Amino acid sequence: MTAGPSSACGPRSASPRLVLASASRTRQRLLSDAGLAYDAAPADVDEAAVRIAMRAASRSAEEVATALAEAKAAAVAGVHPDALVVGADQMLECDGQWFEKPADLAEAERNLRILRGRRHRLVSAVAVALEGRCAWTHVDVAVMSMRAFSDDVLADYLDRAGAAALDTVAGYRFEGPGIQLFDAVEGDMFTILGLPLLPLLACLRRCGAVAD
C-alpha cells in the first residue's frame, strides 16, 4: 500500500544526504547492512498522544503507523532541510488491542501472556521527507502466530532477552531468542523488523540518494 505524491521524488542530479529519524538500533543496522551512509537523528514526537487521538477517531493501525512515520520524518526534516529524511513506525495489533514498547520486563511478560497462543499483526510504515515535506509513504503488514509456549519458556526468554526486550513492541525480539515464541509468520522480514526496506530503497533510488 503506497500513498503520497511519489512524483515529488523524481530523479535529481545531486545526491542528497540521508538522515534516519529513528533511535531504533534494528533500523540503523538494517540501513548499515544494506551499505547506506546516513546520520541518525531521533525525532521528538509525542507518539502516545498521536496514538490516543487517532484511537479516539477510530483510525486503523495502518493509519496510525503511517501518520507517526510521517510525523517523525517531518520533525527531523525541519531541522535538516537539506537532507532526505526517513521516518518509520511499527504498531502491534491483536484482536483490536494495540501494544506499545513495554516500560519494563514485568510489562513485557504481561504482554506476552496476552499474545500467547494467538495471532497478531505487525504494521510497519516508512515515510520519506524531502525539502521539509513528506514526499512518500509506504505501509505493510505481517501476521505473526505466537505459539502456546510454557511458563518456563516465557521465563527463560525474558532472562535471555533482558533489556533488549524493551526495545520492541510487545517485548519480543524476533531476530533473537524471541523466535522461539512463534509457530509461524506470514509477511516480509523487513516489515517484521520494523522498516519495509525494499520499497524504501526503491524510493531512495528514485530520489537519487542510492545508485540505480
Q: For binding to a second copy (CB under 8 A), which residues are involved?
A: 33-35, 149-150, 152-153, 156, 160, 175-177, 179-180, 182-185, 188-189, 192, 197-198, 201-202, 210-212
88 touches 22 (CB < 8 A): yes
Q: Which is nearer to a second copy, 47 or 156 (CB)?
A: 156
CA distance 129 to 135: 5
Nearest CA-CA partner of 136 in 50, 61, 205: 205
Q: Which is nearer to a second copy, 59 or 147 (CB)?
A: 147
Whether 89 sits among the annotated catalytic residues: the reply is yes
Positive or negative, the Cα torsion across 177, 96, 45, 43? positive
- Residue among 33, 39, 44, 89 flagged as catalytic: 89
Which positions ≥6 away from 210 have C-beta within 8 Å?
36, 201, 204
Q: Which is nearer to a second copy, 43 or 178 (CB)?
A: 178
Smallest distance from a second copy to CB 176, Å:
5
SS3 per residue for 188-209: CHHHHHCCCHHHHHHHHHHCCC
Q: Which is nearer to a second copy, 108 or 192 (CB)?
A: 192
Smallest distance from a second copy to CB 157, Å:
8
Smallest distance from a second copy to CB 153, Å:
5
DSSP 136-164: EEEEEEEEEEE----HHHHHHHHHHHGGG
Smallest distance from a second copy to CB 210, Å:
7
Rounded to 5°, the CA angle 131-134-139 comes to: 145
Q: Catalytic site residues? A: 89
